[in-house]
Structure 1
């Protein structure tokens, strides 16, 4: 199972924005389950007035600190801090395209680097309540079903946008950067994984 998933990421050249942007954050896109019923782990961010993505659906992760040995180390460290899952390098499948962060349609001066992991073991979730309100699993079949496709109306600072989204049976849909990262993941998996 893991070998087949790793093959989907081999010989890929993910988009690298580090040549044009210095600051970045790293996230962990975590998969589990059998090949015909893969699930993906999401967080719902805590409600905080100082967080530009307050309450949104996201992936565990955060900004690279100067003491981090690598971008991958950042994703592993931040995941442990936010949700208590201790990921290992052996569980890494690969890397997705870097994606430039944006707010209200305006590009920001940093990017997100997603790493994909597959875990086949038991673990406990320990949320950092200052950062994360919830961690949950969602089947890829749900994410790819046309029945769950929707739009998210973004209305802020005199900007009105209708953005593609996916309903998750929660008060907030999957949209924005996390939606874009998820679509990139599905594109990688699509050749061999049936949804």
Structure 2
């Protein structure tokens, strides 16, 4: 590792064996959680805001760049690289990889689906020249980790799904809607890994 903060992050991420759902189900997506910053105090995490599309049930939601692994993707990491490039125009590389978080099973209206998401964590020192795929992504933005952890930003998001109103934990990131759902859960998993580092 080429910097002290990167080394600390790598150690924190890889000190846990990630939950692996590959044996239970095959279809999955791969996403990229990208960190940047010179020290523990100023680390930031990158998010996308999905494009507004009436046919997309996740229209306008906050998420991480990524998408479904395709047959032509040699590895899961290749899928994360490809999707990040397609969605935000950023070339990540294996030298920036810190490790994996737990696989997380997708769900719809509280029902678990036969599909999971595999999150990869990266640390970058490159200056991003973001080029958005306007059909998929409305914005890419950075949020300080200390903002995400701020108790004042914790909130409840009401989700209307198939005649049901569900209240879920979320965090307000100065835009609507707040961060909730699977991306929120992945972010919590990241903080679990970095708990000692961020104290």
TM-score normalised by structure 2 residue count: 0.95
Alignment of 1:89-168 (within 5 A): 89-168=94-173
TM-fit CA distance, 1:139? 0.5
CA distance in 2: counterparts of 1:174 and 1:10, whole angstroms = 25
**Which of 9, 17, 23 is matched with 2:21 structurally?**
17
CA distance in 1: counterparts of 2:38 and 2:157, whole angstroms = 31
CA distance in 2: counterparts of 1:120 and 1:193, whole angstroms = 19
TM-fit CA distance, 1:187? 0.6
TM-fit CA distance, 1:125? 0.3
1:92-135, CA deviations, whole angstroms, 9 ceiling, x for partnerless residues? 00100000011211111100000000001212000000000100
CA distance in 1: counterparts of 2:181 and 2:27, whole angstroms = 19
Q: Does 1:70 align with 2:91?
A: no
In the other structure, the counterpart of 1:30 is: 34
TM-fit CA distance, 1:10? 2.4
TM-fit CA distance, 1:5? 0.8
TM-fit CA distance, 1:34? 2.0
**Which of 39, 42, 46 is matched with 2:44 structurally?**
39
1:151-174, CA deviations, whole angstroms, 9 ceiling, x for partnerless residues? 000122111111000001102100
Cα-Cα RMSD: 0.9
Q: Could you list the runs of 5+ residues in structure 2 that have no partner in the other structure?
A: none
TM-score normalised by structure 1 residue count: 0.97
Q: Could you list the runs of 5+ residues in structure 1 that have no partner in the other structure?
A: none
In the other structure, the counterpart of 1:87 is: 92
How many residues are paired up?
Answer: 194
TM-fit CA distance, 1:52? 2.5
Instruction: Look up the SS of the partner of 1:41 in the other structure.
Output: strand
CA distance in 2: counterparts of 1:13 and 1:66, whole angstroms = 26
